[in-house]
Amino acid sequence: MDKEHVFFENYAGTWDQDRKENPEVLSFLIKMAGISAGDTVLDVGSGTGILLPYLHQAVTDTGRIEELDYSHRMLEQARQKFASFPGVTYTEKNILKYKLPQKAYDAIVCLNFYPHIAQYKEVFIKKMTAALKQDGSLIIMHDMPRSRVNAMHDQGENPPSCVLPPVDIMATMLITAGLTVTVAMDTESFYFIRAEKKQYVPYEQYPEHAAVHEELIVPEGEMHGHSHGHDHGHVHPHTQTKAVMNRLARISGHLEAIKRMVEDGRDCSDILIQISAVDSALVSVGKVILRDHIDHCIIDAVKDNDMEAVDNLKKAITTFIK
């Protein structure tokens, strides 16, 4: 058992007295989580089951809730308090080591938990994404402001490893993992981000795909090598096309979510945060294209002394980094 685990075991008995639960804030957070009757929900780092009554109200008796925590005593508290709730299971496991079922949950909620796995964030987010059903949501939330969370977890490290990042950075991490961020809020009384595992349609299956390809087909006789839009004479495969199309599909899903936020009259600062996340995602897809271009086009062009291709690359880089 590591130091932090021992800390929580020792704290379990007095956790509820020390923890100032604000039912209004918790009800609001669960409402924003979009959990419905009959859902299957995983509550990661569930502690003494603070969220359990709110989750139960949302999923009703027809749903299922899994309370997961590595602290035996924390879970014992939850079990004692809410023994009468049907459909609740208690899993005493370290989330980083536990083999979660795949595509099993409609929602995974993490209340006041993220800083405890911040050092392993990529692994954690990937694992949670795999455990979500299609259209399921990962919700990372705190019923206190981010500044207070970070003050509590400040261990004097430089750079600190257990921080709760601003929502735009968190959004970018979630988008990179393949999720679509639908709500992101950082206020004086809470931090909330919801990311959904949206169905993504592979490029090949886009209905417009065939039409687009028809437009791109160059009639025989006009062929001048093959060139993904280049007009110099090299044939060079772009190995990252599929990855680029996947990223662009996610970005366009994210943009649709922003359009909905604007239509719904959502707070401008929330919308700007989302726009900045899309902006970062676009820059990173641009980098993939640039790297692919350098790897597969420019090396050949330099070998063949094709200065036109090299000049074109210079222009593209200048535009990209402007």
Ligand X SMILES: C[S@@+](CC[C@H](N)C(=O)[O-])C[C@H]1O[C@@H](n2cnc3c(N)ncnc32)[C@H](O)[C@@H]1O
Residue 60 beta carbon to ligand X: minimum distance, rounded to whole angstroms: 21
Q: Name which of 95 and 138 has its Cβ closer to ligand X.
A: 95
Cα separation of the two ends of the chain: 51
- Residue among 21 and 304 whose Cβ is closer to ligand X: 21
Residue 84 beta carbon to ligand X: minimum distance, rounded to whole angstroms = 20
Residues near 291 by Cβ (< 8 Å), separated by ≥ 6?
Answer: 240
Closest CA to 76 of 15, 30, 142: 15
**Residue 245, number of CB atoms within 10 A of its CB:** 18
Closest CB to ligand X among 120 and 203? Answer: 120
Least Å distance, CB 131 to ligand X, is: 14
For residues 22 and 44, the answer to whether their CB atoms sit within 8 Å is no
Q: How far apart are alpha carbons 155 and 150 in whole angstroms?
A: 10
- Cβ-closest position to ligand X: 47
Please, what is the minimum distance in Å from the beta carbon of residue 98 to ligand X? 8
* Helix (H) or strand (E) segment spanning residue 278: helix 268-293
Q: Which residues bind ligand X (CB under 6 A)?
A: 8, 19, 45-47, 50, 69-71, 74, 94-96, 111-113, 116-117
Positive or negative: CA dihedral 7, 10, 13, 17: negative
- Closest CB to ligand X among residues 71, 182: 71
Nearer to ligand X, 12 or 251 (CB): 12
On whether the CB atoms of residues 72 and 8 are closer than 8 A, the answer is no
CA-based diameter of the chain, in Å?
Answer: 81
Whose Cβ is closer to ligand X: residue 149's or residue 309's?
149
Please, what is the minimum distance in Å from the beta carbon of residue 111 to ligand X? 4
